[in-house]
């Protein structure tokens, strides 16, 4: 017989252990301190979640309240359908009509969709079926890089590179347009067509990433079924994959559209900001997000209220599109909801690969990892067997060629952007450039970006300090606390989750304006603090959903193991759940930070910008994206252009670095788990 394993407390040997009636050795009640600790944990998470919700609720309230004047003066219908926007007339009352901006938003988004969706499907097919296996991962990672480039850098590239390059071609089109009135001249430097093209590049990676995931859900037996009937690779795609993935592709496109309508800075720089309805695609226009960003600086009273009303309209449009997208993607594949969230949280390959690998492990992390997901290779043709007819073969090769063409068209702009950033930005970089304040005006040569660099770092710090703890605690509330406290709490948890999903889809320009109305006005001045909080609000839902996803993947068996040992709830979380989830939470936070650090739009409303080096969090402060925007939006001189390229280089390098770290963490963790 084994010697009795004595109590851990060391009080051994006990009475009555091996012989006779045992006695109860452990109380069935718990020490008060332990219960209090659990209560504290529950309340901490609950308070964090509710505080975050209350804060956002307050922002929404302030924003809605601000617009009251607009509705009462112009009427909802009148405002929405008004075609004139004259905020500061020479005489008489200002006129506000939202239609030109709604029109501009929809037209640029439509052009972007028309270009991006076919290319994205091509990229997704190339990276799931057609490319050699070894190239699939790297190529989709490269496409994901397009998503990491900030909006303001796209705007910069559009103005300085794309517009001059394409101008001759567009002029030729306008002269030879024949009966096509919507392509008539004159060609302006800002235009719907160019804006739509840039927008297409910006939303392509998101659509491609989700479409790729949808393709990977096509059951293996469907694919094998097609191959078993003698299908070529293209025929398998046409008959097995595309029908299966149709609604998923529609949903992915709708998600891209949701992103497109909220894009601000690139369009503010590229579209020309001329409110008009109809007219040539080669002429200028304006979008909801663009006009808010551009006119905010000179807007007071009813003008400001009208811009706020536009923000509300934009929010509603984005909300409806995102809700539809979610419905479509969720219907098309089992893991739809989480796919959507991953897409919205801008986690491309870095998150997806890891999560996929884990999900296949059968939940407890102990199984052998399954084979590569999804895609079956076609059988090799054996010599001497009847071969595919020539016409079928030609068609299949043509289809494959089209897919590769789409991939090339998607990769060219990426290459061009990175090339231009390095070509123009790298020469500007020097120690002086990083440590000198920006010059006093656009005509003074020299100077640097120290004020913007410091400002960006300070606001990233504030944003992380706000979003990371609140985000993790809120995720714990949704995932652990609310679920464990009975049905009523679970409903609250679901409500919080829904709220977070709405936040994910809010355009960043709307976040900026609401923080201005609720915080900057209350504090009396623009500040780094307000800027950091605005960026934190953008990060918060990303952190919550990334954490939530990862918490779901912590095997239930691990929690049970701890609970069966008598671990209190908080202890299970701290000792078992969080350590297992830590790398994923870190990855999610890094990606959220990368996304927020490239945002210029919200900073225009909150931190404003400052020409000098400042570390005062209660005063206005500069930031890299805002500096680039400010140097491009009014006058472009060789001096201001050089400064903007240099700043863009630093910003993109910083964001890519954050992305790289996030990917490395994800990969490192995966390799740990496979063992």
Partner 1 sequence: MSTEQSTARATEAPPGPSAPPPSAPSAPPPLRTRGLGAFFGSHKAIEDIDLDFEDNTVTALIGPSGCGKSTYIRTLNRMHENVPNARIEGDVELHGESIYGRAADPVAIRRAIGMVFQRPNPFPTKSIADNVLAGPKFNRIRLSRRERQDLVERVLRAAGLWNEVKNRLRAPAGGLSGGQQQRLCIARALSIDPDVLLMDEPCSALDPQSTDRIEELIDQLKERVTIVIVTHNMQQAARVSDRTAFITIETDGEPGRLVETGPTSDIFNAPSKPATEAYVSGRFG
Outline where 126-230 has alpha helix (H). 133-148, 151-157, 163-175, 192-216, 220-228
> Could you tell me the smallest distance in angstroms from the CB atom of residue 563 to partner 1?
6
111 forms part of the interface with partner 1 (CB under 8 A): no
What distance in Å separates the CA atoms of residue 215 and residue 237, rounded to the nearest whole number? 10
Nearest Cα to 104, choosing from 344, 299, 317? 317
Give the distance from CA 260 to its chain's centroid: 11
578 forms part of the interface with partner 1 (CB under 8 A): no
Q: Which stretch binds partner 1 (CB under 8 A): 10-18, 247-255, 423-431, 444-452?
A: 10-18
Structure tokens belonging to residue 434: 């990083």
Per CB under 8 A, the list member of 10, 132, 334, 386 interacting with partner 1 is 10
222 forms part of the interface with partner 1 (CB under 8 A): no
CA-atom Rg of the chain in angstroms: 28
Residue 75 CB neighbours (<10 A) = 12
618 forms part of the interface with partner 1 (CB under 8 A): no
Query: Which of residues 239 and 337 has its CB atom nearest to partner 1 in the complex?
Result: 337
567 forms part of the interface with partner 1 (CB under 8 A): yes
Query: Which of residues 57 and 566 has its CB atom nearest to partner 1 in the complex?
Result: 566
| CA 530 to each of CA 524, 533, 609, 627: distance values in angstroms, whole numbers, following the listed order | 11, 5, 12, 17
Query: Which of residues 430 and 575 has its CB atom nearest to partner 1 in the complex?
Result: 575
Give just the sign of the alpha carbon dihedral 648, 649, 651, 652: positive
What distance in Å separates the CA atoms of residue 313 and residue 654, rounded to the nearest whole number? 34
Given a contact cutoff of 8 angstroms between Cβ atoms, the answer to whether 194 and 158 are in contact is yes
32 forms part of the interface with partner 1 (CB under 8 A): no
| CA 22 to each of CA 10, 16, 18, 25, 668: distance values in angstroms, whole numbers, following the listed order | 18, 5, 8, 8, 49
Give per-residue burial for 484-508: e unless 16+ CB within 10 Å, then b.
eeeeebeebbeebbebbbbbbbbbb
Per CB under 8 A, the list member of 326, 569, 595, 663 interacting with partner 1 is 569
520 forms part of the interface with partner 1 (CB under 8 A): no
Q: Which stretch binds partner 1 (CB under 8 A): 130-138, 178-186, 524-532, 553-561?
A: 553-561
Residue 90 CB neighbours (<10 A) = 5
Query: Which of residues 3 and 386 has its CB atom nearest to partner 1 in the complex?
Result: 3
Per CB under 8 A, the list member of 89, 164, 579, 638 interacting with partner 1 is 579
What distance in Å separates the CA atoms of residue 198 and residue 263, rounded to the nearest whole number? 11
Query: Which of residues 3 and 384 has its CB atom nearest to partner 1 in the complex?
Result: 3
Q: Which stretch binds partner 1 (CB under 8 A): 23-31, 243-251, 386-394, 643-651?
A: 23-31
Per CB under 8 A, the list member of 216, 339, 403, 487 interacting with partner 1 is 487
Number of residues written out for the chain: 675
What x-and-dash track marks residues 321-360 binding partner 1 by CB under 8 A? ----------------------------------------
15 forms part of the interface with partner 1 (CB under 8 A): no
What distance in Å separates the CA atoms of residue 543 and residue 645, rounded to the nearest whole number? 30
Per CB under 8 A, the list member of 276, 558, 614, 636 interacting with partner 1 is 558
Query: Which of residues 35 and 381 has its CB atom nearest to partner 1 in the complex?
Result: 35
| Beta strand 95-96 pairing with 85-86 | antiparallel
Per CB under 8 A, the list member of 94, 225, 335, 568 interacting with partner 1 is 568
488 forms part of the interface with partner 1 (CB under 8 A): no
Per CB under 8 A, the list member of 15, 24, 133, 380 interacting with partner 1 is 24
525 forms part of the interface with partner 1 (CB under 8 A): no
> Could you tell me the smallest distance in angstroms from the CB atom of residue 353 to partner 1?
20
What distance in Å separates the CA atoms of residue 334 and residue 440, rounded to the nearest whole number? 56
Percent helix, percent strand, percent coil in the chain, to nearest 5: 70, 0, 25
Query: Which of residues 303 and 490 has its CB atom nearest to partner 1 in the complex?
Result: 490
> Could you tell me the smallest distance in angstroms from the CB atom of residue 292 to partner 1?
44
> Could you tell me the smallest distance in angstroms from the CB atom of residue 579 to partner 1?
7
Query: Which of residues 313 and 665 has its CB atom nearest to partner 1 in the complex?
Result: 665
How many helices, marked H, and strands, marked E, lie in the chain? Answer: 30, 2
Q: What are the residues facing 95 on neighbouring strands? A: 86
Give just the sign of the alpha carbon dihedral 210, 214, 217, 222: negative
HSE-CB at 632 with a 13 A cutoff on CA atoms is 32
Given a contact cutoff of 8 angstroms between Cβ atoms, the answer to whether 307 and 295 are in contact is yes
365 forms part of the interface with partner 1 (CB under 8 A): yes
Q: Which stretch binds partner 1 (CB under 8 A): 382-390, 494-502, 572-580, 612-620?
A: 572-580
> Could you tell me the smallest distance in angstroms from the CB atom of residue 590 to partner 1?
21
Which spans of this chain sit near partner 1 (rule: CB under 8 A)?
Answer: 1-10, 17-30, 34-35, 38, 364-366, 483-484, 487, 490, 555, 557-558, 560-569, 571-572, 575-576, 579-580, 672, 675
């Amino acid at each position: 017989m084994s010697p009795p394993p004595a109590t851990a407390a060391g009080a051994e040997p006990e009475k009555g252990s091996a012989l006779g009636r045992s006695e109860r050795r452990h109380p069935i009640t718990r020490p008060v301190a332990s219960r209090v600790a659990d209560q504290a944990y529950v309340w901490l998470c609950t308070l964090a979640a509710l505080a975050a919700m209350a804060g956002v609720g307050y922002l929404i309230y302030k924003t809605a309240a601000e617009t009251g004047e607009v509705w009462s003066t112009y009427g909802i219908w009148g405002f929405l359908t008004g075609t004139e926007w004259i905020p500061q007339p020479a005489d008489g009352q200002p006129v506000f009509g939202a239609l030109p901006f709604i029109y501009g938003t929809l037209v640029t988004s439509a052009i972007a969709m028309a270009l991006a969706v076919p290319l994205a499907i091509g990229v997704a097919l190339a990276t799931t079926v057609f490319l050699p296996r070894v190239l699939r991962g790297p190529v989709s990672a490269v496409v994901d890089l397009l998503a990491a480039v900030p909006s303001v850098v796209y705007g910069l590239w559009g103005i300085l590179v794309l517009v001059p390059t394409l101008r001759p071609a567009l002029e030729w089109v306008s002269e030879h347009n024949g009966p096509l009135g919507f392509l008539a001249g004159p060609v302006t430097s800002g235009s719907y067509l160019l804006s739509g093209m840039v927008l297409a590049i910006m939303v392509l990676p998101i659509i491609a990433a989700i479409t790729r995931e949808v393709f990977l859900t096509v059951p293996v037996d469907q694919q094998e079924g097609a191959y078993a009937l003698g299908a070529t690779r293209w025929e398998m795609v046409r008959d097995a994959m595309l029908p299966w993935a149709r609604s998923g592709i529609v949903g992915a496109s709708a998600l891209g559209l949701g992103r497109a309508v909220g894009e601000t800075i690139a369009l503010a720089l590229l579209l020309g900001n001329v409110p008009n309805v109809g007219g040539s695609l080669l002429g200028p226009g304006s979008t909801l997000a663009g006009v808010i960003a551009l006119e905010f600086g000179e807007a007071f009273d009813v003008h400001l209220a009208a811009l706020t009303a536009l923000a509300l309209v934009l929010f509603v449009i984005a909300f409806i599109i995102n809700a539809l997208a979610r419905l479509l993607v969720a219907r098309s594949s089992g893991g739809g909801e989480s796919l959507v969230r991953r897409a919205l949280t801008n986690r491309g390959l870095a998150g997806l690969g890891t999560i996929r690998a884990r999900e296949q492990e059968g939940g407890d992390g102990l199984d052998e990892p399954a084979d590569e997901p999804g895609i079956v290779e076609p059988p090799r043709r054996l010599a001497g067997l009847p071969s595919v007819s020539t016409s079928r073969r030609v068609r299949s090769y043509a289809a494959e060629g089209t897919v590769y063409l789409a991939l090339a068209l998607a990769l060219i702009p990426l290459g061009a952007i990175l090339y231009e950033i390095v070509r123009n930005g790298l020469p500007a970089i020097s120690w002086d450039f990083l440590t000198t304040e920006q010059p006093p005006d656009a005509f003074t040569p020299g100077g640097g970006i120290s004020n913007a660099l410091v400002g960006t770092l300070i606001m990233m710090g504030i944003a992380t300090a706000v979003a990371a703890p609140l985000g993790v605690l809120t995720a714990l509330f949704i995932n652990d606390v609310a679920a464990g406290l009975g049905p009523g709490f679970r409903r609250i948890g679901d409500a919080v989750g829904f709220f977070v999903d709405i936040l994910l889809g809010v355009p960043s320009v709307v976040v900026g304006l609401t923080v201005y109305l609720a915080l900057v006005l209350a504090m009396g001045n623009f500040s780094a603090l307000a800027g950091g909080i605005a960026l934190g609000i953008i990060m918060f839902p990303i952190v919550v959903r990334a954490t939530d996803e990862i918490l779901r993947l912590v095997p239930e068996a691990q929690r049970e193991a701890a609970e069966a040992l008598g671990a209190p709830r908080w202890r299970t979380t701290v000792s078992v759940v969080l350590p297992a989830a830590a790398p994923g939470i870190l990855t999610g936070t890094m990606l959220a930070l990368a996304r927020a650090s490239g945002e210029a739009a919200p900073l225009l409303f909150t931190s404003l910008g400052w020409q000098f080096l400042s570390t005062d969090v209660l005063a206005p402060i500069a930031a890299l994206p805002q500096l680039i925007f400010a140097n491009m939006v009014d006058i472009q001189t060789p001096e201001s252009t050089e400064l903007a390229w240099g700043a863009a280089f630093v910003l993109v390098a910083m964001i890519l670095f954050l992305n790289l770290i996030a990917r490395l963490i994800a990969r490192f963790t995966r390799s740990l788990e496979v063992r």
